[in-house]
Every structure is written in structure tokens, then in C-alpha cells.
Amino acid sequence: MTEVGRPADTARTFAQKALARASGHESVAVGEIVDARPDIALSHDNTAAIAEIWCQFGQQRVAIPERMAVTLDHAVPAPTVRHARNHAEVRAFVAEQGVVHFFEVGRGICHQVLSEEAVVLPGDLILGSDSHTPHFGWLGAFGAGVGRSEMAVIWATGELWLRVPESIRIRLEGALGEWVTTKDVALALIGDLGADGALYRGVEFEGPAIAGLSLDSRAALVNMMAEMGAKNAYMAPDEDVFRYLAQRLLTRPGRRPGRGAKPGEASGEVAARLRERALYPDAGAEYVVEHLLDLSFVQPQVARPHQVDDTVDVGELESVRVDQAFIGTCTNGRLEDLGAVHRVMAGRRIAGGTRMVIVPASSEVWNEALARGWVTDLAAAGAVFGTPGCGPCMGNHLGVLAPGEVCISSANRNFQGRMGDRGSEIYLASPAVVAASAVAGRIVHPREVTE
């Protein structure tokens, strides 16, 4: 990770290295504007709207069909005829243009699916018409969100201008305590630094605590940096990440050169190639600010309506009655999250007057939860399940809220009206806190229902 002997003035951040590679430069300076060529261009249900913009360019074919990744996830299965038409337009477009990576209704949320499918690799630049695209930093990729018009321009030209951001370094030490998760770490950070604490900036995590975090936990933390305003977020990929991707590449042949496994290749060889692709910041790279966080001091957090940075220790929250508990999203809809919910709820019942919606982040998560018997146990506890996808996170369907209702959610945003009526309220927390709150009928620490 460190390159001994490199002069300090040429030490570079991950963001500098990733954007230099993507723009074909030897090195780039912070603040420099580069024309970057993304390795992957992500879009989802908004693909049809982007296609409509792209059509104005008069091209017959998109410039980068092999780099495009399209997932139907935001309102699936179609809740209305208008949504159904939108999906139909997306399907027709990807078929006509030969988009290589297309994932149907029910496969899951774009960020989770492109991770599971090993579409995004360490050292990549991925631009997405989705604000949680920084998610891919958990794989050591540079992910950033862009608008629909910008995505149309990427399809047409294969590139987009980007400013090389200043970066913040956050060093993680210690270990998570009982019932504490990286969601709590993320909320604690956002509470401290503010919803604009990383505005326009890259966030680079480092430190000894990372090796002790599961891959699902890493993804949740990096994902949430979008709520701190970050342009991208990054965690140094280690052998766990390379193994995860290598296994998946071996079962998914036919990727374009340099991005897949070769026939007969051993897992270790694929992992070695991924290791070579990976980018790491230099020792001595310049950061605008550096923070140190000891994970052992973090307590389960709750973000109160309507701001993600209005956080409080769950134990300090006044009594809040809960109408709906929601588990899911690109932040906390993975297997580990469902495991935490199962740990809290198996053999217990959801409180009267409270309901619970669980939407797995992907079909892989759903299938594994089924195989482990968790779905049966959680259904017995009173939870209902939705199709893998974004669920009610942005108020489209599958559990929207009525005026005056309160939801405790494992999602990433508690903005006014986001999950339904503008008179409803969203509290954000970890899956364990959400599950405990469903059982108690009010927001509580998981200890309160498990001990």
C-alpha cells in the first residue's frame, strides 16, 4: 500500500490515481478537470428517459454498448401502466442497442447486482445516473453520480468531464461493539461532519479496523457517504474483495478482454489480476482533512426526520411509536442485514399496530435467506416481503406512508415526503434497530427485545 521513497509532492490520493487512469494521463492534479472515460455507465428505470435525450443526438448506435449496465430496480414489478410502459421501453432499447449488462425485474438493486455480477472491478471508474453510485468504492472503484443528460452524453461520446476532487481521509480503528454496525458508524460520521461534510470531495477510508469488517458491512458504510455529499468514497480492496470477485468472474464467462476469467483459469490467478488492477493512495498523499474514528465508541444511532445528519444514540431518543418498519435498499438490504433482523426477530412477533416490510437487495440475497430458513421465520414473526429492488425507499410503491405515519427504516434518506405523504416521518437506523423496533412497536435498542 505504501511506496517507500516516493517524494511527498508526488504522492497521490486514490481519486487522483483513478481519474488519471480513466482519462489516460500519467498523473492528474487535484482541481484539474479531465475528460474521463468510464469503464461502466450505470442506469436503471431512468434508462428510457435517458434514451429519449440520447435520441436527440441523431446517432443510430450508442458508442459504448459493452460498457453500459442497466438494471430495472426502482419500481419493480411495475406498479402502474405508466411504469410498465417505461420498463417496456427500457427492454426495447437495451435489445436494440445490444447493451451487454442488462438485469431484469427482480434481480435486485443496481449497486448490489453490479457488485454480485462482478461487472465493476477494482480501479474502475463507474458513473451512474444514480446518487448512490459512490457505493462501488467498497470494491476499490471510483463511483460517482451524474444526471440523465450527462449519461446520455456518455452513451454518445464515451466520456464526461470530471473535476479531480479534494479528498478527506477517515482512519478507522478498534472494533464494532455488540449490536453496532457500520450503518451506525456512517450515521455517527454524518451526524458529526454534517450532510455536506464531504461535499464535492472524495472520502478515503483506511485503518486497521477495515480488515475486521465483513464485505456487506464495508458496502453499507461506503454507500452512505453519498449522504455526506461525497463525490466518491473508497475503501482499500483486500484479498477478501479479490476472492469475492474472482469466484464470481469464474462462473460468468464471456466478459470483454481484461475484465473476466479465462477458460480453465484458477481462482487465484483471477484474484492476482484483480490485485494488479487495484489502486491505492500513496503514503503522504494530501488530504484536506483527516479524521480518526474508534469504532468501539460508536453506539447504535438513529437519524430523526427529516435530515440524515440529525442523529442521536438510540438510547437517548424519546419514545417514538412506529407504524411501519422497513428493511432493504442498497444501504442495508444484504444478507448480513437480513441475518441481523433474523437474530432479533426469530421466535418473536411484530407488535400490534406495527407492520413490517422487507425487500431484499437482490435475488441472490433472497435465495440465500430462503435457503437458510430466515424467510419462514420472519414471515412467522409477521413480516411481509417485496420483490428484490429499491422497494418503498423513494416512495414509488410497496409500502408508502400515510399522513402522520412513522417509519423506522434501514434505508439511507429520511427526507420529508420521501416514502409517501409529506406529513409522514422517517427515522433511519441499522437493520437490528429496525427489527427491534418492529417487535417493540417503538424505537428501541436491540438489547431491549433480546435480553
Partner 1 sequence: MNSPVDVGRPFRGRVFRYGDHVNTDVIFPGRYTYTKSSPEEVAPHALEDLDPTFAGRVRPGDVIVAGWNWGCGSSREQAAVCLRAAGVGAVIARSFGRIFYRNALNNGLLAIACPEAVEALEEGTEVEVDLEASVIRCGETAYEFSPFSPAVRSMIAAGGLIEQTKRRLAAV
Give me the residues that bind partner 1 (CB under 8 A), please: 45-46, 49, 52-53, 56-59, 74-75, 80, 82-83, 86, 128-131, 145-150, 152-153, 156-157, 161, 195-196, 199-200, 229, 231, 307, 309, 394-396, 400, 413, 415-418, 420, 422
Sheet holding 384-385, edge to edge: 311-313, 301-303, 425-428, 406-409, 324-328, 355-359, 384-385
Nearer to partner 1, 32 or 240 (CB): 32
Contact 36, 78 (CB under 8 A): no
| Least distance in angstroms from the C-beta of 289 to partner 1 | 16
Could you count the other beta carbons within 10 Å of the beta carbon of residue 78?
17
Helix (H) / strand (E) containing 191: helix 182-193
* Identity of the residue, 311 or 396, whose beta carbon is nearer to partner 1 in the bound complex: 396
Nearest distance, CB of residue 250 and partner 1, angstroms? 33
User: Which is nearer to partner 1, 11 or 53 (by Cβ)?
Assistant: 53
DSSP state of 57: T
Smallest gap from residue 392 Cβ to partner 1 (A): 10
d(CA 290, CA 170): 6
Contact (Cβ atoms closer than 8 angstroms) between residue 342 and residue 305? no
Q: Which is nearer to partner 1, 186 or 271 (CB)?
A: 186
Shortest CB 252 distance to partner 1, Å: 28
CB of 5 to partner 1, least distance (A): 36
- Closer to partner 1 by CB, 131 or 450: give it: 131
Question: What is the pairing mode between strands 167-173 and 202-206?
Answer: parallel
Distance CA 203, CA 231 (A): 8
Please give the DSSP secondary-structure letter assigned to residue 13.
Answer: -
Q: Cell 517524494 appears where? A: 7
- Minimum distance between the CB of residue 151 and partner 1, rounded to whole angstroms? 9
- Shortest separation between residue 422's beta carbon and partner 1, angstroms: 5
**Using CA of residue 282, residue 259, residue 261, residue 335, what is the dihedral sign?**
positive
Pick between residue 90 and residue 118 the one whose CB is nearest to partner 1.
90
166 by DSSP, 3-state: which? Answer: coil
Question: Whose Cβ is closer to partner 1: residue 86's or residue 115's?
Answer: 86
